[in-house]
């Protein structure tokens, strides 16, 4: 199985509202990469809607969506978090989260009604933000002598790599990200420099 070269995500936030039999469902979508950032967003939603009765959500993180979570937040099991998550999956989105805040309108919607409400609210908010295609980047650490700096910099520019961090001491230690589509070519070019240590780091 080949390694994916890109993923789909969002870079903007948006809100959409869906109403059914008096209940109001306010969906918010936002980009998110780390779990603590999502928790801050959830806290912000609760502060913005202190009188709501449910704060249901789903998120996917990681270039292949390997980190995910759903929550029904007190709604019947499977009626909120799963429909929200299903909408993220249907659009192949990752590094994105959706929180749907519910104000209860006095009428019970039943399981089918709740599933439809959370699914629809999420679908509406997803229509309000552009979906972005991003190329996956692989993190590497390079250790090398100063005399290799210019040719290595040239390779980095040619491959479209990003320099994340540079340390200049007795020798150079650079943290870079390499586009997945260029990884094989990048490594092949560095093999010509026998004194350059190339360490593949763990992706977030």
pLDDT for 159 equals 93
Question: What parts of the chain have a pLDDT lower than 50?
Answer: 1
Structural tokens at position 171: 């020798």
State the CATH class of domain 136-200: alpha beta
Full-model pTM: 0.82
pLDDT for 4 equals 75
pLDDT for 38 equals 97
pLDDT for 89 equals 97
pLDDT for 114 equals 98
Q: How many other CB atoms are there within 10 angstroms of residue 119's CB atom?
A: 20
Same fold, 6-133 and 136-200: no
pLDDT for 195 equals 84
* In the chain, domain spans: 6-133, 136-200
Query: In this structure, which CATH number among 3.60.21.10, 3.40.190.10, 3.30.230.30, 3.40.190.100 belongs to the domain 6-133?
Result: 3.30.230.30
Say what percent of the chain tops pLDDT 70: 98
Scanning the structure block, which residue is given the tokens 């709740």? 114
pLDDT for 168 equals 83
């Amino acid at each position: 199985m080949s390694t994916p070269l890109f993923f789909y995500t969002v870079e903007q936030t948006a809100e959409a509202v869906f109403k059914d039999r008096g209940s109001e469902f306010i969906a918010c979508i936002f980009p998110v990469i780390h779990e603590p950032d999502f928790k801050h967003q959830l806290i912000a939603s609760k502060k913005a809607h202190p009188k709501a009765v449910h704060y249901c959500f789903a998120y996917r993180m990681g270039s292949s969506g390997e980190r995910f979570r759903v929550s029904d937040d007190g709604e019947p099991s499977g009626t909120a978090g799963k429909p929200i998550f299903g909408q993220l999956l249907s659009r192949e989105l990752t590094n994105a989260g959706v929180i749907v805040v519910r104000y209860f309108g006095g009428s019970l919607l039943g399981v089918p009604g709740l599933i439809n409400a959370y699914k629809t609210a999420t679908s509406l908010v997803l229509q309000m933000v552009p979906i972005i295609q991003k190329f996956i980047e692989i993190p590497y650490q390079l250790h090398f002598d100063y005399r290799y700096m210019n040719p290595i910099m040239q390779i980095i520019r040619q491959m479209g790599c990003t320099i994340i961090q540079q340390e200049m001491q007795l020798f150079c230690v650079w943290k870079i990200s390499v586009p997945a589509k260029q990884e094989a070519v990048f490594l092949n070019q560095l093999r010509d420099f026998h004194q350059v240590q190339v360490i593949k780091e763990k992706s977030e």
